Amino acid sequence: MGMLFYGATEEPIRIDDRALAHLKVAIATKLRRQESFTLSWRHPEGEPRGRSTIWLHPSIPVRFVFDEPETPRLNARWIQELMMEASSSGGICLVDEVEDGPIAGDLE
């Protein structure tokens, strides 16, 4: 289980390593373009039931921490879906992987 640290908050957002690797690409791309957006997710098992949303802005520090030392092969279609969501008024809503797309080995 990976962790996303955002801003000055010491409490991490826990996200599956594979999903976090894909999110990292989408988030870094949007922030590099100086674009703000929201990220929403359902709380994982073991945490209080519910969902959360954060506003991602280029001026706020973000850090990605992965359990696995190796970067997984990335699914280009899933990244495209995340990027399209980030550009929508609803922002990124972390969902399961889109599986019927090409796998890109060097997207990270």
Helix, strand, coil fractions of the chain, as percent rounded to 5: 25, 30, 45
Residue with tokens 């039931």: 49
Give pLDDT, residue 108. Answer: 46
% of the chain beyond a pLDDT of 90:
66
Give pLDDT, residue 48. Answer: 87
Contact 67, 2 (CB under 8 A): yes
Mean pLDDT, the chain, integer:
88
Model confidence at 60: pLDDT above 90: yes
Tokens of 40: 């929403």
Q: pLDDT band at 95, cuts 50/70/90? A: confident
Give pLDDT, residue 52. Answer: 92
The model's pTM:
0.84
Please give the helix or strand (H or E) that residue 5 lies within, else none. strand 2-6
Distance from C-alpha of 81 to C-alpha of 41, rounded to nearest angstrom: 15
Contact 103, 73 (CB under 8 A): yes
Model confidence at 88: pLDDT above 50: yes
Distance from C-alpha of 100 to C-alpha of 75, rounded to nearest angstrom: 9
Q: pLDDT band at 44, cuts 50/70/90? A: confident
Q: pLDDT band at 40, cuts 50/70/90? A: very high
